[in-house]
Structure 1
Amino acid sequence: MKVTPKLGKILKERGMTQTELAAKANVPQAAVSRFDRASQGSYTNIIAIARALDIRVEDLFEIENQ
């Protein structure tokens, strides 16, 4: 299974920057950037990001069954 973050696409659709999301989610901007680059992010930050965007956590990912 391949899981790919789609945060960049969501932010673009909403006209929002990583910095704006970080402020709204109350997480460091670096955490948003790491998550968007598919590197390790803390579950707490991922949940905060999803809640700030009012979407489900799984909506932050593109999931392909291989």
Structure 2
Amino acid sequence: MGKRINVRPRLKELMKADGWTQTRLSEASGVPQGSISRFDTNSRHEDWQVVAIMKAGGWKYEDLFEIEDEGKDEK
């Protein structure tokens, strides 16, 4: 097995920090507002939605998701 990596979405934090509303981000990205609303609680994300949100907000993947790499290989 590989390293254990934990990924936590943080869209709500980014939106608050940058002054985005769900409606405005939905309009700018083409991602349905309901999907934006549930983004941080979903465990799976559509690739096109992630890319569209990153482009609309000017964010990188590392901004949109908190990534914790435990650094050890699991066996």
Query: What's the TM-score once normalised by structure 1's chain length?
Result: 0.85
Number of aligned residues: 66
Report the counterpart of residue 23 of structure 1 in structure 2: 27
Deviations 1:5-42 (A, max 9, x none): 11111001012112211111011011212322233221
Report the counterpart of residue 73 of structure 2 in structure 1: none
Report the counterpart of residue 67 of structure 2 in structure 1: 63
Q: CA RMSD in A?
A: 1.3
Moved over 4 A (4+): none
- The answer to which structure, 1 or 2, has the higher relative contact order (CA under 8 A, 6+ apart) is 2
| In 1: Cα distance, 2:44 partner to 2:26 partner | 16
Bigger CA radius of gyration: 2
Q: SS where residue 65 of structure 1 aligns?
A: strand
| In 1: Cα distance, 2:35 partner to 2:55 partner | 15
Matched, 1:43 2:44: no
Matched, 1:4 2:8: yes
Instruction: Mark the runs of 5 or more structure 1 residues left unpaired by the alignment.
Output: none
| In 2: Cα distance, 1:14 partner to 1:58 partner | 16
Higher helix share: 1
- Identical aligned pairs, as a percentage? 41
